[in-house]
Amino acid sequence: MRWLDEYFERQTRHVAQQTSRRSAVTRIGQLLAGAALALPILPFDRIANHAHAAGAGKQKRDDETACDYWRYCAIDGFLCTCCGGTVSSCPPGTEASKVVWIGTCHSHVDGRDYLISYADCCGVTSCGRCLCNANVSERPGYRMGVHNDINWCMGNKSTMYHCTVAAAVGIAETGKG
């Protein structure tokens, strides 16, 4: 009967090995190792997305019909570039407001700060396209020269507001030299 004892002992040990804590830990380890092989894809994807987003951001800063275009840092209104005009000239049939407001925008192209003159284009009903509102260095109405949230066509013959242009009129002083 000794052979039978040995047989059952072997079988019992085998089952015990298969179900022991150590083998459970081994199995979990194997699962984690397997998952680790599959999951590293995620961080790479995120990095790729960041790079893509940064690229998209840069493209927008160069796109004169996008609110992120660098000269629009203190604009409030419809972009004339979406309304038949250019970044600095009013669409045909409209005229620039007699009064303008100014902003200081940083150019990512040459790294300098530019004085931007914003003017509303007047005489035709609101364009309604590409509404943007950016307020870098913008100030409330008691600082009228740097206030954008007002219809600047009010000084024109026709006070109808159509869209807004942004002309770079100078380089901001650095205060050095």
User: Minimal distance in Å, beta carbon 64 to ligand ABN?
Assistant: 17
User: Minimal distance in Å, beta carbon 76 to ligand ABN?
Assistant: 5
Which residues of this chain interact with ligand ABN, rule CB under 6 A? Answer: 76-77, 120, 148-152, 161, 164
120 belongs to the catalytic site: yes
Q: For residues 142 and 48, what is the distance between their CA atoms, to the nearest angstrom?
A: 46
101 belongs to the catalytic site: yes
Annotated catalytic residue: which of 70, 120, 149, 152?
120
Annotated catalytic residue: which of 101, 110, 149, 152?
101
What's phi and psi for 166, nearest 5 deg?
A: -135, 105
Residue 125 or 174 with smaller CB distance to ligand ABN: 125
Write the CA distances from 48 to 52, 56, 58, 119, integer angstroms: 6, 12, 15, 40
Q: For residues 144 and 114, what is the distance between their CA atoms, to the nearest angstrom?
A: 19
Tell me the catalytic residues.
101, 120
